Amino acid sequence: MDSRPVDQLVRLEAAPADSSQGASEDRASVGQALFGLDGEALAACMARAGEPAWRGRQLAEALYRQRISDVSAITTLPQALRQRLVGEGWQVGRPAITQVFQSQDGTERYLVRVGGADGAAQAGEPVWMPEGDDGEAGDGSDAEAAVKEYTRATICLSSQVGCAVNCHFCLTAKLGLQRNLTAGEIAGQVLEVFERQGVEVGRDRVNLVFMGMGEPFLNYANFMGAVRLLVREAGLSPQRMTVSTSGIVPGIEQFAAEPAELRPKLAISLNAPNDAIRGEIMPINHKWPIEAVMDAVRQVRLRPRERITFEYVLLGGVTDQPAHAAEVARLVRRTGLAAKVNLIAWNPGPGIAYATPRPEAVEAFRKTLADGGIPAYVRKPRGRDIYAACGQLKRTVEG
């Protein structure tokens, strides 16, 4: 593990990779943003401007498929209309990458600048993992041919700035909740990273995981708004997306009612074998204990080959004992769900007094689950040296 203190993190890059974005660090905070509106809203917007509604479709295509970040560059619109839109204060308004941190393992963590409620800049923190972290193993994702220099990549997304849930092992919790991200800000993180990495939708295999800063189900409308933009407007598959929740029961119930063509896969951040230990490390468990969470999860109608993922952060000496593994196997079997368990060795963070489990303990835990008939995978720690790994996201350098 790289144990450099936070203040020694190197600021590698201050400007966005795409020069067309260069003049617009503040593009999310000035004028009226088109980015974040869906095709229907863009059509209504055009109709109000006296234009035919199909201009809205052209705008959506430009914003979400061509990923154009400057209204003047939308050449499918007549020049006079572009000029008028700019004159009226319209801009694309996609949030911009302002800083990039690169890990020795190829992982990149970004600060994506979004406007703060008080006008101050705040940041979402998407993470690009060029080879994934094995979190998608065994959950029904199909395997596709390798393209580019990466065979498969994963982008981990924030849904809030900070988080209110207060899991005791998580660095993000130390921020508290600063604010919800909007649907456009969440989807914008994806398109920013796609631009930087030259991702071609429909060709490159990229998975999205809503597992970064924040609890997506405490920002449900914006989270699902982002999913709708990414699926309907940008053309991504919801089966390449996974949302992780700490167990917000009303959110899970709402999620279970989403149509299959829009619903991402579901992961539950379990982290403990029983309510007593879970309540100690995740206070949210006092509100929604394990059985209530499982009852809600059983309402999700899984697609063929789809599994529910249980994320399990192993805390050395606290949740990584052999008896815990046997109890988790029993618990998961009892749910009757098609499920798998992702094991994550706890990633250290400053000021958090837990220990990383020994590698032998992690392997023994995995084996106990597997022997008990529960598919179990160990997620590779990615980007620990840049505080990009699970539970480590926190704005460490101002955007």
Residues recognised as catalytic:
125, 390
The CB-of-24 to ligand SF4 minimum distance in angstroms stands at 29
Provide the residue type at 299 as one letter.
Answer: Q
CB 236 within 8 A of CB 110: no
CB count, 10 Å around CB of 140?
15
Give contact residues for ligand SF4 (rule: CB under 6 A). 163, 165-167, 170, 172-173, 213-215, 246, 391
Kindly tell me which of 229 and 282 has the beta carbon lying closer to ligand SF4: 282
Residue listed under structure tokens 């350098």: 397
| Two structure tokens written together for 88 | 């009226």
Longest dimension (CA), the chain: 70
State the minimum distance, in angstroms, from the CB of residue 235 to ligand SF4.
28
Smallest distance from ligand SF4 to CB 158, Å? 9
The C-alpha atoms of residue 130 and residue 349 are separated, in whole angstroms, by 23
> What span, in angstroms and rounded, lies between the C-alpha atoms of 163 and 218?
9
Distance of alpha carbon 96 from alpha carbon 115, whole angstroms: 11
Closest to ligand SF4 by CB, 136 vs 215, is 215
Q: Which contiguous run of DSSP H or E holds residue 359?
A: helix 359-371
- Residue (39 or 273) nearer to ligand SF4, CB: 273
Query: Least Å distance between CB 248 and ligand SF4?
Result: 9
Q: How many CA atoms lie within 13 A of 193 on its CB side?
A: 29
| Secondary structure (3-state) at 113 | strand
253: enclosing H helix or E strand? helix 249-256
Compute the least distance from the CB of residue 97 to ligand SF4, in Å: 21
Of 46 and 165, which has the nearer Cβ to ligand SF4?
A: 165
Spatial CB neighbours of 198, under 8 Å, sequence gap ≥ 6: 148
Name the β-bridge partners of 377: 342
Q: Which is nearer to ligand SF4, 95 or 251 (CB)?
A: 251
- Nearer Cβ to ligand SF4 (185/215): 215
| Least distance (Å) between residue 174 CB and ligand SF4 | 9
Token pair belonging to 254:
């709402």
Residue 21 phi, psi dihedral angles, 5° rounding: -95, -5
